[in-house]
């Protein structure tokens, strides 16, 4: 046992075997109100800024259709099998991300608990920048309503974004508003808060998305966009594209952050995990495609570049909207969509840490939520002040990249470690009986059990190992691919 886990154990103060109080608390765990509620909540967590903000520009920079195909492949081979693994762990243990490992090993001191803690750290780190960028979305709703984009050219709209980005106070204001929205929802608990609001917002998101895709279908750039998204240009694919597609498949399914372990802990024994996972994974992929089908026709109609990077949503799109008929409604629908997607994802990060604190330290929900908000707020400050105050603007000069991408590097490391260890834990440490019952003997997809078992034991850890080898420079795939 490591010193770190000893220290954590001291804080946790759990006894093993569990005391009566612990048993009662575990037994009383809340469950999802309905299957549909869970599906929409999990899909809401999956569909977020990664799907709406990151995926489109990464598709644009990585050869369109080829990237989409790789993304689909990794969803099927890595994402969904690992999604099933996280859900079944949580359901089995009926505890949060850390407690799950203690329970599954039958040892409240187990070093495996560290994997849970790493996922909690990843959740906190991502929560930091997520609340700031989602705050930008709130700001853009206000900018849309005040019609400031009307009559401006692309350059002026670009400058507006930069000015906003460099205004620490404004970033801070919207970050606080966004955190307050999350706190209000998560304070209400599982069914009255997270499930209720995720159901509403995810349904709203689907409706808004369908309207916007229909609108995009009427634009002259639609055909070009379809070709761009579906026609694979393999010459644009590099080893980095492959790794990016794999990383994004994990990120957009919220994997490696303890989210699905926590959400799984609210499932009932009779819930069909494989089928639900397929539905959520499928919905996430279809929504990703729809978002691309909504954005790219607009970009192509005005002869703009799909490769414009992070500014695609906050610079290119507002300009495009301002030139289209019905611009205010369009822009409003789009940024509301973005905010709904962001909220349903961020509440899942909050719930990871809240469930963990209430499970391990027996805090009440209120205290756990406030502590989570305070930590999330503090971690977000550097991103909010990245362009304006303190030493954050000079961060780039020192580290060669801005603060947000620097934390991204850290998060990505945490994720690969968590994902790899969790798969090894599920695939190799659990016994056959635990695996079978976890997968569900009555599942509609029970026939796929051997395939899933193979993927979790081999395909997922190997794919993740490849990322680790590439990241550490032990294997340079760029060089290897040049040999062929
Ligand atoms: N899946 C979310 C997205 O695509 C991101 C996320 C990561 C949500 C981690 C929860 C936890 O934006």
Q: Of 25-39, 108-122, 278-292, where does mean pLDDT reach its minimum? A: 25-39
Integer Cα distance of 441 and 239 in angstroms:
39
Does ligand 1 come within 6 angstroms of the Cβ of 46? yes
Q: Which of 45, 291, 419 to mutate to test the pocket of ligand 1 (most atoms within 8 A of CB)?
A: 45
Does ligand 1 come within 6 angstroms of the Cβ of 182? no
Burial class (CB in 10 A: 0-12, 13-18, 19+), 107: middle
Q: Which of 285, 282, 286, 255 is nearest to 87 (CA)?
A: 255
The token pair that represents 16 in the structure block: 């093993």
Q: Which of 337, 348, 342, 318 is nearest to 50 (CA)?
A: 342
The helix (H) or strand (E) run that includes residue 308 is none
Does ligand 1 come within 6 angstroms of the Cβ of 252? yes
pLDDT tens-digit series, residues 215-247 = 999 999 999 999 888 888 888 787 778 878 888
Does ligand 1 come within 6 angstroms of the Cβ of 49? yes
Ligand 1 center–CA 207 separation, angstroms: 21
pLDDT at 63: 77
Ligand 1 center–CA 483 separation, angstroms: 36
Q: Of 30-39, 157-166, 240-249, 426-435, where does mean pLDDT reach its minimum? A: 240-249
pLDDT at 13: 41
Q: Which of 467, 481, 471 is nearest to 243 (CA)?
A: 467
DSSP 3-state assignment of 176? helix
pLDDT tens-digit series, residues 356-408 = 999 999 999 999 999 999 999 999 998 888 867 676 666 666 666 777 767 77
Ligand 1 center–CA 2 separation, angstroms: 30
Does ligand 1 come within 6 angstroms of the Cβ of 296? no
Q: Of 293-307, 317-331, 396-410, where does mean pLDDT reach its minimum? A: 396-410
328 pLDDT higher than 90: yes
Does ligand 1 come within 6 angstroms of the Cβ of 288? no
Does ligand 1 come within 6 angstroms of the Cβ of 119? no
Does ligand 1 come within 6 angstroms of the Cβ of 257? yes
pLDDT tens-digit series, residues 249-297 = 999 999 999 999 999 999 999 999 999 999 999 999 999 999 999 998 9
pLDDT at 274: 97
Q: Answer for the pair 5, 111: CB distance below 8 angstroms, yes or no.
A: yes
Q: What is the DSSP string of 186-240?
A: HHT-IIIIIIHHHHHHHHHHHHHHHHHHHHHHTSTTHHHHHHHHHSB-GGG--HH
Does ligand 1 come within 6 angstroms of the Cβ of 45? yes
| Summary mean pLDDT of the chain | 88
Q: Could you tell me the CA-to-CA distances from 189 to 182, 195, 203, 204 in Å, in that order?
A: 11, 9, 20, 21
Integer Cα distance of 482 and 13 in angstroms:
55
Mean pLDDT of 341-370: 96
Residue nearest to atom 6 of ligand 1 (CA): 254
| Total length of the chain | 484
């Amino acid at each position: 046992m490591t010193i770190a886990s000893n220290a954590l154990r001291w804080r946790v103060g759990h006894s093993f075997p569990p005391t009566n109080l612990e048993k009662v608390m575990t037994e009383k765990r809340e469950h999802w109100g309905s299957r549909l509620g869970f599906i929409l909540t999990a899909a809401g967590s999956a569909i977020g800024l990664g799907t709406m903000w990151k995926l489109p520009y990464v598709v644009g920079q990585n050869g369109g259709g080829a990237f989409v195909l790789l993304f689909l492949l990794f969803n099927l081979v890595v994402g969904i099998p690992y999604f099933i693994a996280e859900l079944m762990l949580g359901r089995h243990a009926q505890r949060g991300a850390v407690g799950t490992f203690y329970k599954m090993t039958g040892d409240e001191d187990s070093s495996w608990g560290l994997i849970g803690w790493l996922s909690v750290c990843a959740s906190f780190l991502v929560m930091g920048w997520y609340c700031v960028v989602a705050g930008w979305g709130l700001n853009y709703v206000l900018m849309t309503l005040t019609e400031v984009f009307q009559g401006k050219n692309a350059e002026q709209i670009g400058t507006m974004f930069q000015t906003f980005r460099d205004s620490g106070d404004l970033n801070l204001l919207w970050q606080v508003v966004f955190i307050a929205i999350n706190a209000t929802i998560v304070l209400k608990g599982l069914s009255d808060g997270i499930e209720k609001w995720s159901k509403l917002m995810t349904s709203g998101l689907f409706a808004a998305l369908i309207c916007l895709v229909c609108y995009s279908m009427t634009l002259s750039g639609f055909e070009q966009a379809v070709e761009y998204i579906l026609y694979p240009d393999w010459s644009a694919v590099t080893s980095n594209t492959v790794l990016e597609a794999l990383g994004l498949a994990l990120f957009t399914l919220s994997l490696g952050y303890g989210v699905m372990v926590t959400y799984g802990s609210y499932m009932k024994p009779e819930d069909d995990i494989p089928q639900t996972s397929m539905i959520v994974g499928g919905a996430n992929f279809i929504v990703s495609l729809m978002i691309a089908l909504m954005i790219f026709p607009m970009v192509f109609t005005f002869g703009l570049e799909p490769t414009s990077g992070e500014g695609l949503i906050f610079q290119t799109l507002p300009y495009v909207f301002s030139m289209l008929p019905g611009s205010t409604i369009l822009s409003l629908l789009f940024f509301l969509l973005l905010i709904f997607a962001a909220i349903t994802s961020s509440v899942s990060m909050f719930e990871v840490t809240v469930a963990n604190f209430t499970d391990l330290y027996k805090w009440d929900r209120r205290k756990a939520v406030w502590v989570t908000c305070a930590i999330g707020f503090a971690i977000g400050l550097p991103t909010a002040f990245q362009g304006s105050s303190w030493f954050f603007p000079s961060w780039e000069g020192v580290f060669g990249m801005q603060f947000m991408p620097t934390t991204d590097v850290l998060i990505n490391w945490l994720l690969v470690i968590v994902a790899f260890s969790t798969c090894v834990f599920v695939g190799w440490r659990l016994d056959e009986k635990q695996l079978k019952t976890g997968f569900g003997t009555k599942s509609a997809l029970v026939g796929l059990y051997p395939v899933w078992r193979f993927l979790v034991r081999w395909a997922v850890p190997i794919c993740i190992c490849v990322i680790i080898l590439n990241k550490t420079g032990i294997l340079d795939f760029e060089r290897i691919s040049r040999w062929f």
